[in-house]
A and B are shown apart, each in its own frame.
Chain A
Amino acid sequence: MADSKKLTVNGREIEFTDERNLLEVIRKAGIDLPTFCYHSELSIYGACRLCLVQVTQNNRTMVMAACSTAPAPGMVILTETKDIRAMRKISVELLLANHNTECPSCVRSSSCALQNIARRLGVNEIRYKKLKHEEMQPIDTSSPSIQRDPNKCIKCGDCVRVCSEIQGIGAIYFTKRGSNAKVTTAFDSGISGTECVNCGQCAAVCPTGAIVAKQDSPKVWQVLYDTSKTVVVQVAPAVRVALGEHFGAQVGENVAGKLVTALKLMGFKHVYDTSFTADMTIFEEATEFLERVTRGGVLPLFTSCCPAWVRFMELYYPEMTAHLSSCRSPQAMFGSVAKNILPKQLGVKREDMVVVSIMPCTAKKYEAQQDKFKVDGVPEVDIVITTDEVGRMINSLGINFSQLEPSPFDMPMGFATGGGVIFGASGGVMEAALRYAVEKLQDKPLENVDFKAVRGMDNLKEATLNVAGKEIKIAVVYGLAKAREVVEAIKNGKADYHFVEVMACPGGCISGAGQPIGATNAIRAKRQAGLYTADKRDHFFQKPQDNYAVSRCYEESLGGHPGSHKAHELLHTVYDSKADVFDAMIPVMRGTADKRLDVTVTLCTGSMCHGPKGLDMLSGYIREKGLADKVDLNVAVSSGSSSKVSVKVGGKRLSGECSGGEDCDLFKKITAAIDDGVKAL
């Protein structure tokens, strides 16, 4: 440990060691300086000016932002002078003047930092001209996961930094300048058309209601009051150790039992546990892993439970999606199994059953509405709400949550092992999979089910296991920026893992963007600990393979065993390349016929690239063959650049190397596809 040094805060001597800035020293001294733009895990921005303090050092006195000042021995600091109080108050007044203060109807009412700090600083009036209704900018409702209201943005940049520093994406950035400055997407378009992965961490760090999780609870009330519907609900593992915070419980306390009671009071017919399909996920995923290991399949295997991570792969590494487990996430498996087996068990028609999910996550809202998880246009999971949303729904019932008697989940889809429950923590999916896979590999019962090397709040955890003479290298990652490093290392042959678990959010699903606002690493660690406590205390079995309800489900409805044909149909999925989200489309030729074939040439960059030449050749071919009337030829300018030629003919992508000009095989394939496509119109 570094040597202890001393400085003075408000007349009190404070010791400090390796704190990065004055703000941390002052907070350690028990004084909670207000801030909007400071998050210990993000870079320091120094924009909000609320942490101003008076610093006297070497006979000079200055007012400094505590977050961006290094502590030094002998500093004399005052946090509450008359001037500083006035400056902080003016800052907040100015922010409020530019803010749509519709507080009572704002999703973030009571969890809003602007509201709380204004109250704390005694801002009772705003002396400046208020934002007028006609000056307000449109709200971005394009995303199924998050909603952006620029009229509530205070330009602290927290969302910009979390998106680029923690997730390595950068879907939003500061644009324009001065009073016109706006945090938004490229070209100020709707966020759903960008590389946003729907993780919602921007909403989780937003101090105000400028970015919030999309609210779907009104839809839930609607189906609950519809007497023709049978509404069932699944509860994700991470929800149970965070919802209590909403009602003043200890952080990390498992409130699953009380939640079941509350949901029944609300009118849900049956309350099930997503941990049941988490166990089922392990049956499938560990089987897939063992098969890849023993039969020499694509390794490392990547977990596929996190929809933000899956979308990240589809966007940035479409050529590597074969590494992703083909297993659906537990939420998606639940939807599929529930809609297939429950109607018969409950004696209702499939179309009269509504499946609701309670998730810690905003990306799950995106996952559920994807076409691949719909049957006849109807999503298998109909409505997804967050922990935070269900908390407010319970509030509206006027019941005292903390006094509720706990109830058990309904059977059979409410039975889970501890292995399914720890899915909510970073490392939990890996640990549950190891409990299954190691036992199978060593072919004798696993005595110690704890794999502590994969637990905890490090964003990269690695371990090498020796199982039945085989070396198994594993990695557990959270934060997509870190995940990108791991994927790059694998791509460049610098890492030789067998199995990699990735979750987008810090510490795993327990700090997803649907969880109560204000997670710090200390809170995250407590929520994780809550899951590991539940693993042993609240569940009779710890190994997913001991879940007899899952086994029975396989026998009755899923083809008898993991990996069966029926299991593949209901529990697995496929991945697309979403790299063309980055493309700007330029029309080159437009046919005049009613039915036309869509041909898109993706242009790449770099000297090895044949894109422009390829386009030239194709447009020439289309004209010469007299197909121009029946073809729409577009250029896609892609940021997923590669030196390959890539052409999409009527939705089918053809790509590869093409060095021989018009004689190359690929060009012939593309022109043949165009001929066929036009014929089939």
Chain B
Amino acid sequence: MEVSNDKAQAVVAKFSAIDAILERNHHDPSRMIPILQEIQELHKYLSKEAITYVASALKVPASRVYGVATFYAHFSLDPKGKHIIRVCDGTACHVKKSHGTLEMLSKKLGISPHKPTTDDMMFTLEIVSCLGACGLAPVVVIDEEVHGQSTPAGIEAIIDGISAKENAATAEGGK
């Protein structure tokens, strides 16, 4: 494996950030959920190391933090891609053929409920039960943007747009 000082820097940065969150919450075990929420906001998921670190800082057993983190559907223990594609498969969206978009995503990005994240950690698929916008069915939310009356082709175009932007940014960074 490539030796990298950046990795050490990244680890330091990661745990310093968690330290700041813990500090803000006064290392108070009764604030475990807000602490986990803030960490998830930062890292998009709760890593094993983060859970262990929080347990150590709050002086509670790691099993208890893990228990809380796995109890709530809000918390994810799996890494998430940079862009999150939420496909609604509630009753209205299902009837309006949300599965067309799901098939497109499976074919194009190879992601499905069984394998929700692309290998390059760029996209994650989340299937949600209702977004409360049934009048716009079928609904797809990409990052924070809502796309009503969506079609597989329309969503594909948006994804292509994101990919193109990301590729350009990588090329820029490589120079």
Contact = CB atoms under 8 A, between A and B. Distances in A.
B64 A173 contact: yes
B52 A589 contact: no
Interface in B66-89: 66-67, 70-71
Please report whether the interface of chain A is mostly helix, strand, loop or mixed according to DSSP.
Answer: mixed
Interface string A182-210: 00111100000011000000000000000
Contact of B48 (A194, A584, A592, A639): A584
A175 interface: yes
A641 B27 CA distance: 13
Interface residues of B toward A: which range?
A: 20 to 34
B8 interface: yes
B148 interface: no
A586 B3 contact: no
B5 A623 contact: yes
A637 B15 contact: yes
Interface string B133-168: 000000000000000000000000000000000000
Contact of B11 (A588, A623, A640): A588
Interface string B5-21: 10111011001100100
A611 B51 CA distance: 18
A133 interface: no
Contacts of A184: 63
Contact of B67 (A174, A195, A638): A174
B15 A175 contact: no
B57 interface: yes
Contacts of A586: 11, 49
A162 interface: no
A343 interface: no
Q: Which of A606, A639, A640 has the most CB of B within 10 A?
A: A639
A487 interface: no
Interface in B15-62: 15-16, 19, 22-23, 27, 48-49, 51-53, 55-57, 59-62
B48 A173 contact: no
Nearest to B49: A584
B7 A186 contact: no
B65 interface: yes
A376 B15 CA distance: 43
A590 to B, nearest CB: 4
Interface stretch (A40-48, A295-303, A628-636, A671-679): A628-636
Given A612-B12, A616-B9, A637-B56, A605 B71 contact: no
Given A605-B19, A637-B15, A639-B56, A186 B65 contact: yes
A635 B8 CA distance: 9
A534 interface: no
Contacts of A635: 11
Contact of A640 (B3, B48, B53, B56): B56
A640 B8 CA distance: 21
Nearest to A611: B15
B3 A590 contact: yes
Given A589-B4, A605-B53, A194 B12 contact: no
A164 interface: yes
B171 interface: no
B15 A603 contact: yes
Contacts of A637: 15, 49, 52-53, 56
Contact of B63 (A172, A619, A628): A172
Nearest to A612: B12
A672 B4 CA distance: 22
Q: Which of A613, A619, A628 has the most CB of B within 10 A?
A: A619
A45 to B, nearest CB: 15
B169 interface: no
B3 A628 contact: yes
B49 A187 contact: no
Given A605-B19, A605-B57, A615-B8, A176 B3 contact: no
Interface string A570-591: 0000000000001110111111
Contacts of A633: 8
Q: Which of A588, A616, A620 has the most CB of B within 10 A?
A: A588
Contacts of A587: 1
A169 B61 CA distance: 7
B23 A607 contact: yes
Contacts of B53: 584, 603, 605, 637, 639
Contact of A164 (B16, B48, B55, B61): B61
Contact of B61 (A170, A187, A584, A590): A170
Q: Which of A164, A603, A605, A635 has the most CB of B within 10 A?
A: A605
B63 A170 contact: yes
A406 B67 CA distance: 52
A260 interface: no
Contact of A615 (B12, B19, B49, B64): B12
A171 B8 contact: no
A186 B55 contact: yes
Interface in B120-136: none
B48 A187 contact: yes
Interface in A607-665: 607, 609, 611-613, 615-616, 619-620, 623, 628-629, 633, 635, 637-641
Interface in A143-180: 164, 169-177
B56 A641 contact: yes
Interface of B: 1, 3-5, 7-9, 11-12, 15-16, 19, 22-23, 27, 48-49, 51-53, 55-57, 59-67, 70-71
Given A170-B61, A186-B63, A609-B19, 4 more contacts: A173-B64, A603-B53, A605-B22, A637-B52
8 contacts: A170-B61, A170-B63, A175-B71, A176-B71, A586-B11, A586-B49, A605-B19, A623-B3
4 shortest interchain CB distances as A-B pairs: A639-B56, A170-B61, A619-B8, A186-B62
Interface of A: 164, 169-177, 184-187, 194-195, 582-584, 586-592, 603, 605-607, 609, 611-613, 615-616, 619-620, 623, 628-629, 633, 635, 637-641
